[in-house]
């Protein structure tokens, strides 16, 4: 790899900073990319380049950068009460108001909220909560949790165990005991000649097989992202989720939806569970809850589990920053802006369909085997041969090459292997979508 001159900041960074999900050796050669500011859907790097952020940071900056409403909410709360906790029979107004507000937005009978500081902490909470729930029901042996290969549920021990990322499991001896995985509903990669409908049913029925294999009275819960995000924006066939819900009900297994990415309007609904007609027992949210301006997560709890927890004595679980007052104030302001600007409706009726229509036009490119998407989530598959959708050899690194071309052109797209994915801010405009598509096409041409 070529050695590039490094700025003093890049030198300091290389000398002292260990980055998450980063090959440090490569970073030391090139120096980190320095992002200095943001406005709307754009970022500016240290060299003054303007970059269209089609990933909304890490799927989170839903209102875009530079929203005064969120800054002011944080500032006011910092002055009034910068910190207090929710432990030991205490609350503060912003946490209570946020819980009540979320209860009106959530599907079904989800009227209780447990606050955390992140998506990973939500999923750690899920593991402890469902096991505590079943123990309180007199069934402590119900402690197995079923998840999916290639899922991403975070980086803590429980989050990474629930996740199905093999390289993460390999570092640290994961998954933790009692967490098992079934296959993902990835039709483009694994459909193998079946119809999408058949494939969706077949993948969902792996849940039933796993329940029978584990022992139906040993399984506590199934967890899944409505659309697997970090796994490559895997949109399941329509037959998949209804069958999963049916199986959960048949075997009395709790259904947990991880909506850390899909929640807060990303699919054109407040929560994607609505879109798929699901009534989960638990639902995890983070990221878009504050548009990423400040860390916050929450686990929404349906009536059945809530009643069990309320009557079950003390739940020995929580974080110093569970429901941090400044984060809750920002989340309330974030919801207020989303409602005032009707952003969920906008994604559903206007900008979502427009983005999907334009994104689909990339499907004619000789490098693209499939385009897919929902709302403001989209993916395309790079293929070596379009006639039979043959994939590139792994060591070609087509996705990484394409991602780097995007960056040179002033566009952030993410590569998951050879799947290119986007998740732009919900406030993106039509002209900005046009720019995104033009740059994506240019990057594909350069990769070809
Ligand atoms: N769950 C899902 C579906 C995610 O996509 C992520 C992060 O990308 C997480 C959980 C973990 O969230 P965090 O990074 O806030 O811990």
Q: 361 and 268 in one domain?
A: no
Note whether 102 and 232 are within 8 A (CB): no
Q: Is residue 2 one of the residues assigned to a domain? A: no
Domain boundary among 340, 369, 394: 340
Provide the pLDDT confidence category of residue 5 given band limits of 50, 70 and 90. low
Split into its structural domains, the chain has a count of 2
Q: 367 and 252 in one domain?
A: no
Q: 294 and 428 in one domain?
A: no
- SS3 sequence, 397-432? CHHHHHHHHHHHHCEECEEECCEEEECCCCCCCHHH
pLDDT tens per residue across span 275-321 = 999 999 999 999 999 999 999 999 999 999 999 999 998 999 999 99
Q: DSSP code of 234?
A: B
**Which runs of consecutive H residues, i.e. helices, occur in 17-92?**
24-30, 56-59, 68-80
Calculate how far, in angstroms, residue 127's C-alpha sits from the geometric centre of ligand 1. 15
Name residue 39's beta-bridge partners. Answer: 42
Q: 179 and 252 in one domain?
A: yes
- At which residue do the structure tokens 């992140």 appear? 118
- State the pTM of this model: 0.97
Q: Is residue 133 one of the residues assigned to a domain? A: yes
Calculate how far, in angstroms, residue 152's C-alpha sits from the geometric centre of ligand 1. 7
Q: 355 and 335 in one domain?
A: no
Domain boundary among 317, 340, 363: 340
Reported as half-sphere exposure (CB side, CA atoms, 13 A), residue 141 has a value of 5
Note whether 163 and 151 are within 8 A (CB): yes
Q: 262 and 122 in one domain?
A: yes
Calculate how far, in angstroms, residue 198's C-alpha sits from the geometric centre of ligand 1. 30
Q: Is residue 27 one of the residues assigned to a domain? A: no
Q: What pLDDT, on the 0 to 100 scale, is given for residue 1?
A: 41
pLDDT tens per residue across span 388-415 = 999 999 889 999 999 999 999 999 999 9
Sheet of 368-374, strands arranged across: 368-374, 377-382, 419-422, 414-416
Q: 153 and 47 in one domain?
A: no
* Closest atom, ligand 1, to C-alpha of 151: 3
Q: Is residue 25 one of the residues assigned to a domain? A: no
- Give the Cα separation of 286 and 298 in Å (integer): 6
Q: Is residue 1 one of the residues assigned to a domain? A: no
Calculate how far, in angstroms, residue 58's C-alpha sits from the geometric centre of ligand 1. 9
Question: Domain containing 194: what range?
Answer: 69-340
Other CB atoms within a 10 A radius of the CB of residue 15 amount to: 8
121: domain CATH number?
3.40.640.10
Domain boundary among 340, 365, 393: 340
State the complex-level ipTM.
Answer: 0.99
- Nearest CA residue ID for atom 12, ligand 1: 119
Other CB atoms within a 10 A radius of the CB of residue 114 amount to: 25
Q: Is the CB of 147 under 6 A from ligand 1?
A: no
Q: Is the CB of 124 under 6 A from ligand 1?
A: no
């Amino acid at each position: 790899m070529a050695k590039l001159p490094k700025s003093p900041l890049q030198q300091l960074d290389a000398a002292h900073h260990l980055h998450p999900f980063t090959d440090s050796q490569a970073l030391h050669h090139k120096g980190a990319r320095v992002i200095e500011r943001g406005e709307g859907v754009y970022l500016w790097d240290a060299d003054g380049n303007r970059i269209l952020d089609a990933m909304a940071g890490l799927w989170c900056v839903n209102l875009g950068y530079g929203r005064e409403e969120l800054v002011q909410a944080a500032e006011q709360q910092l002055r009034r009460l910068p910190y207090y906790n929710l432990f030991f029979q205490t609350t503060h107004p912003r946490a209570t108001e946020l819980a009540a507000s979320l209860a009106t937005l959530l599907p079904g009978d989800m009227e209780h909220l447990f606050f955390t500081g992140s998506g990973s902490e939500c999923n750690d909470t899920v593991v402890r909560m469902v096991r505590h729930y079943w123990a309180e029901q007199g069934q402590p042996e119900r402690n197995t949790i079923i998840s999916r290969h290639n899922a991403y549920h975070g980086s803590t021990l429980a989050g990474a165990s629930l996740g199905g990322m093999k390289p993460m499991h390999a570092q640290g001896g994961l998954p933790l005991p009692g967490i098992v995985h079934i296959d993902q509903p990835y039709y483009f990669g694994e459909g193998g000649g079946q119809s999408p409908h058949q494939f969706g049913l077949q993948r969902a029925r792996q849940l039933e097989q796993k329940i029978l294999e584990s022992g139906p009275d040993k399984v506590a819960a199934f967890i899944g992202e409505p659309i697997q995000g970090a796994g490559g924006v895997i949109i399941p066939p329509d037959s998949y989720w209804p069958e999963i819900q049916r199986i959960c009900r048949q075997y009395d297994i709790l259904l947990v939806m991880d909506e850390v990415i899909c929640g807060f309007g990303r699919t054109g609904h407040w929560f994607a569970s609505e879109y798929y007609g699901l009534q989960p027992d638990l639902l995890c949210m983070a990221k878009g809850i504050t548009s990423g301006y400040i860390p916050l997560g929450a686990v929404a709890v349906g009536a059945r589990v809530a009643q069990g927890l309320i009557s079950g004595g003390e739940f020995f679980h929580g974080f110093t920053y569970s429901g941090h007052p400044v984060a809750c104030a920002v989340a309330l302001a974030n919801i207020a802006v989303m409602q005032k600007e009707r952003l969920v409706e906008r994604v559903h009726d206007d900008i979502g369909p427009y983005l999907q229509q334009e994104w689909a036009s990339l499907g004619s490119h000789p490098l693209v085997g499939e385009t897919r998407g929902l709302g403001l989530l989209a993916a395309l598959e790079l293929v070596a041969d379009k006639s039979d959708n043959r994939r590139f050899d792994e060591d070609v690194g087509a996705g990484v090459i394409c991602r780097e071309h995007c960056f040179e052109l002033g566009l952030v797209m993410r590569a998951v292997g050879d799947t290119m994915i986007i998740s732009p801010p919900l406030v993106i405009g039509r002209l900005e979508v046009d720019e995104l598509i033009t740059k994506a096409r240019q990057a594909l041409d350069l990769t070809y």
